[in-house]
C-alpha cells in the first residue's frame, strides 16, 4: 500500500469513528436513563410513535418513493423492490405492530427467582435491560419500527443500521419513533439510526464499539448473519438458517401427516420455519409415503427423493447429498426414508440447523423419544413447523428465531432482550 492510499484510508476510518463514537456514547447515556424509566412512559412513547407513523404517512411514502426510484435505477431485483416498497397497508401494519408491542407485559423489574439464606439475607433475581443493542438489517424498512419498538419496550437503547437501499424510508420512520420518545420525555438517543450508508459503519459497529454495544442482532439473509457472526467482537443473537424437518412415524395418522406436511412445507415457503426435508419411517412406506408425496407433488411442490421415494412417482427428482443440507425457502422439499425415530433424529443431528422439527405419530412413547433426543430450538409433536414464531407462541412480537444455545434460543421477544441482576437485602450480614 502506498502512502497516499494509507492516509486516505486512515482519514475514512477517522470519519467513521467521528460519526459512530458520539452515537455510542449517547446510546450508553440513554440506556442508563431507560433502565430506571417506568413502563408507562415507555408505552406512552410507543403509542405516540404509532400515532406519528400514521400522521406522517405521506412523508414516509415520499421517502420510500425516492428509495424505490434509486433501486430501480440500480436495476435491483423484483424481490428486493417488493421488500422495500411501502404502501398505506404496510404503514398501518407497522403502526399497529408498535401498538401491539406497547400492549405486551413489561418485561423489566420482574422477579424471576427469590429465596432467603440461613443468615437472613433475602436474594432476588430481577430482570433488567441488556443495555445497548445494535441492529443490522437489510432492505425491509419496517424493521426500523419493529426493532426500535422491541428495544424500547425492553428498556434497551438501540443503534439501527439499515440497508442503504431503504435509507430514506428508514430515516422517515425513525423520525416518527423519535417523535414518540420526545413526547414521552425520554431521551431521543434511545433510538438512533446510523446516518451514513458507508459500509464501513457496519464493520465499526461489529469490531470497534465493544465499549458501547452490548449485543448485536443481525436481521437479514444468510450472508449478513454469517458476516456478523464472523466479525463481531460483541455477543450476537442471530440465526443462520432453518433447515426444518417433518418426520412421519409408523404410528402417524395418515390424514394428520398429510395435513401437517403440506402446511409445514407450503403455507409460506419463505419463512425460516418452513419444512425443507420430509423423513418417512420405513415401516410405513407402504401406507404413508405415496399419499404424502403425491399430495406434495399435486400441490405443485418439487420433491427430491432417495431411491425409495423416486420409485413411487416419476415426478420425483433424484436428491443429492447437498439436498439434505438445503434451505430452499421455495416450493421444493427433500424426502427420504429412515429406519424409525432414532434414524430420523440422527439424520436431523447430521443435516439440520437446530431450528424446528416435528414428529407426526400417535405413539406417545415414540413422540417423547423424538422430543427428548432432537436438540433443536423448537421440537413439536403433531403440529406444523410453521408455528415457529414468537406471535404463534404467545410471546408477542419477535426480533427473530435464535438457533444459538447461548442466552436466547428460539423466538427472541422482549423477554429475551433482557438480562438480570441479583438484589440482596440484608441486616448487617458479614461473611465468616
Cβ 208 to a copy of itself shortest distance, Å: 13
Contacts (CB under 8 A) with a copy of itself, residues 331-370 = 349, 367
- Cell readout for 9 is 484510508
Surface-to-core class of residue 102, CB atoms within 10 Å of its CB (0-12 exposed, 13-18 middle, 19+ buried) = buried
Burial 235-244 (b: 16+ CB within 10 A, else e): ebbbbbbbbb
Which residue lies nearer to a copy of itself by CB, 277 or 361? Answer: 361
- Return the DSSP state at 376: S
Is the distance from CB of 316 to CB of 334 less than 8 angstroms? no
Among 379, 412, 413, 414, binds a copy of itself (CB under 8 A): 379
Among 13, 17, 35, 295, binds a copy of itself (CB under 8 A): 35
Interface map 163-202 toward a copy of itself (x if CB under 8 A): ----------------------------------------
* CA-closest candidate to residue 134, choices 219, 224, 53: 219
Cα atoms in the Cβ-side hemisphere of radius 13 Å centred on 238: 26
Which residue lies nearer to a copy of itself by CB, 2 or 255? Answer: 255
Interface map 253-292 toward a copy of itself (x if CB under 8 A): x--x--xx-xxx--x-------------------------
Binding flag, residue 376, a copy of itself (CB under 8 A): yes
Binding flag, residue 208, a copy of itself (CB under 8 A): no
CA distance 178 to 166: 18
- Return the DSSP state at 298: H
Cβ 25 to a copy of itself shortest distance, Å: 13
- Return the DSSP state at 431: -
CA distance 147 to 98: 9
Which residue lies nearer to a copy of itself by CB, 56 or 402? Answer: 402
- Cell readout for 271 is 419463512
Whole-number Cα distances in Å, 111 to 42, 126, 139, 304, 395? 20, 4, 38, 50, 18
Is the distance from CB of 315 to CB of 297 less than 8 angstroms? yes
Which residue lies nearer to a copy of itself by CB, 190 or 380? Answer: 380
Cβ 220 to a copy of itself shortest distance, Å: 21
User: Reduced to 3 states, what is the DSSP secondary structure of residue 360?
Assistant: strand
Binding flag, residue 393, a copy of itself (CB under 8 A): yes
Q: How many residues bind a copy of itself (CB under 8 A)?
A: 62
Among 20, 215, 341, 414, binds a copy of itself (CB under 8 A): 215
Among 5, 73, 314, 428, binds a copy of itself (CB under 8 A): 428
CA distance 120 to 24: 42
Q: Write the DSSP string, 149-197.
A: HHHHHTT-EEEEE--GGGHHHHHHHHHHHHHHHHHTT--GGGEEE----
Is the distance from CB of 209 to CB of 127 less than 8 angstroms? no
Cβ 183 to a copy of itself shortest distance, Å: 25
Which residue lies nearer to a copy of itself by CB, 10 or 210? Answer: 210
Is the distance from CB of 219 to CB of 137 less than 8 angstroms? yes
70-78, 81-89, 229-237, 239-247 -> range binding a copy of itself (CB under 8 A): 229-237
Which residue lies nearer to a copy of itself by CB, 36 or 66? Answer: 36
Which residue lies nearer to a copy of itself by CB, 183 or 373? Answer: 373
Residues that bind a copy of itself (CB under 8 A): 32, 35-36, 115, 117, 121, 123, 128, 130-131, 214-215, 230, 233, 235, 253, 256, 259-260, 262-264, 267, 349, 367, 371-373, 375-384, 386-387, 392-394, 404-407, 409-410, 419-431
Amino acid at each position: 500500500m502506498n502512502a497516499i492510499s494509507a492516509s486516505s484510508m486512515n482519514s475514512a476510518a477517522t470519519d467513521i469513528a467521528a460519526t459512530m463514537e458520539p452515537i455510542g456514547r449517547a446510546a450508553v447515556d440513554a440506556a442508563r436513563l431507560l433502565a430506571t424509566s417506568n413502563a408507562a412512559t415507555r408505552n406512552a412513547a410507543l403509542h405516540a410513535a404509532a400515532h406519528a407513523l400514521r400522521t406522517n404517512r405521506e412523508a414516509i411514502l415520499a421517502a420510500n418513493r425516492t428509495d424505490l426510484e434509486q433501486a430501480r435505477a440500480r436495476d435491483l431485483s423484483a424481490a428486493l423492490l417488493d421488500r422495500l416498497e411501502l404502501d398505506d397497508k404496510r404503514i398501518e401494519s407497522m403502526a399497529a405492530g408498535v401498538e401491539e408491542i406497547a400492549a405486551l407485559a413489561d418485561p423489566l423489574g420482574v422477579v424471576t427467582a427469590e429465596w432467603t439464606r440461613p443468615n437472613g439475607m433475602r436474594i432476588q433475581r430481577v430482570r433488567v435491560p441488556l443495555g445497548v443493542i445494535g441492529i443490522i438489517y437489510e432492505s425491509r424498512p419496517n424493521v426500523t419500527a419493529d426493532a426500535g419498538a422491541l428495544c424500547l419496550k425492553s428498556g434497551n437503547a438501540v443503534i439501527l443500521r439499515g440497508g442503504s437501499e431503504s435509507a430514506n424510508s428508514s430515516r422517515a420512520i425513525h423520525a416518527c419513533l423519535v417523535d414518540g420518545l420526545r413526547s414521552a420525555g425520554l431521551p431521543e438517543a434511545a433510538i438512533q439510526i446510523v446516518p451514513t450508508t458507508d459500509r464501513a459503519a457496519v464493520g465499526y459497529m461489529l469490531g470497534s464499539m465493544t465499549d458501547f454495544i452490548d449485543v448485536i442482532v443481525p436481521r437479514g439473509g444468510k450472508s449478513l448473519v454469517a458476516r456478523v457472526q464472523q466479525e463481531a467482537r460483541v455477543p450476537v443473537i442471530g440465526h443462520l438458517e432453518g433447515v426444518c424437518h417433518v418426520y412421519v412415524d409408523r404410528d402417524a395418522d395418515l390424514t394428520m401427516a398429510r395435513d401437517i406436511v403440506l402446511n409445514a412445507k407450503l403455507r409460506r415457503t419463505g419463512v425460516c420455519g418452513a419444512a425443507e426435508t420430509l423423513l418417512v419411517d420405513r415401516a410405513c412406506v407402504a401406507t404413508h409415503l405415496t399419499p404424502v408425496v403425491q399430495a406434495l407433488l399435486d400441490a405443485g411442490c418439487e420433491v427430491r427423493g432417495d431411491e425409495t421415494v423416486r420409485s413411487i412417482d416419476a415426478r420425483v427428482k433424484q436428491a443429492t447429498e447437498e439436498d439434505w443440507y438445503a434451505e430452499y425457502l421455495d416450493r421444493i422439499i427433500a424426502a427420504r426414508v429412515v429406519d424409525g425415530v432414532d434414524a430420523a433424529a440422527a439424520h436431523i443431528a447430521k443435516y439440520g440447523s437446530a431450528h424446528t422439527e416435528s414428529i407426526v405419530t400417535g405413539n406417545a412413547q415414540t413422540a417423547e423419544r423424538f422430543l427428548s433426543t432432537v436438540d433443536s430450538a423448537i421440537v413439536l409433536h403433531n403440529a406444523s413447523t410453521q408455528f415457529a414464531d414468537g406471535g404463534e407462541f404467545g410471546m408477542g412480537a419477535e426480533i427473530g428465531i435464535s438457533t444459538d444455545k447461548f442466552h436466547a434460543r428460539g423466538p427472541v421477544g422482549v423477554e429475551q432482550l433482557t438480562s438480570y441482576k441479583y438484589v440482596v437485602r440484608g441486616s448487617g450480614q458479614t461473611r465468616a
